Amino acid sequence: MTEPFSLIETASFKRAARRFLRKHRDLVGKVYEILEQLREDPFEPSLRLHNLTGKLAGKQAVSLTYTYRIILCVEITEHDVILHNIGSHDEVYG
């Protein structure tokens, strides 16, 4: 069995997550479920991890729901998943 990834929360992710979870209490369980899946295997197909382009090039996103995304950067050499942002499609890509 492979070692789990480390989740590293940037300061901006912590702020955005606090705001997001206060506003969307119904998604708290889903957020924690996604974070646990990222810790176990960020390349799990059900996460639908995809590369971003433009100003977010070099980062990836996973879908929380159809409307909400978590922006992250997977650094495979360090076995880390760096969490950058969480929010609606327009908030994180805008």
pLDDT at res. 77: 64
The CA distance from 4 to 79, in Å, is 8
Q: Where are the domains of the chain?
A: 6-93
Which amino acid belongs to residue 13? Answer: F
Quick one: pLDDT at residue 27? 94
Q: Tens place of pLDDT for every residue, the chain, 94 residues?
A: 578 889 999 999 999 999 999 999 999 999 999 999 999 998 899 999 999 899 888 889 998 888 999 888 776 667 889 999 999 888 888 7
Q: Tell me, what's the pLDDT at 1?
A: 59
Nearest CA to 71 among 3, 6, 17, 1?
17
Judge whether 12 and 70 are in contact, CB under 8 Å: no
- Helix orientation angle between 11-23 and 28-40, rounded to the nearest 10 degrees: 140
Q: Where are the beta strands (DSSP E) in 22-63?
A: 50-51, 60-63
Out of 2.30.110.10, 3.30.2310.20, 3.40.630.10, 3.40.50.1860, select the CATH number for domain 6-93.
3.30.2310.20
pTM of the complete model? 0.86
Residue 78 has a pLDDT of 72
pLDDT score at 38: 92
Q: How far apart are CA 17 and CA 46, in angstroms?
A: 22
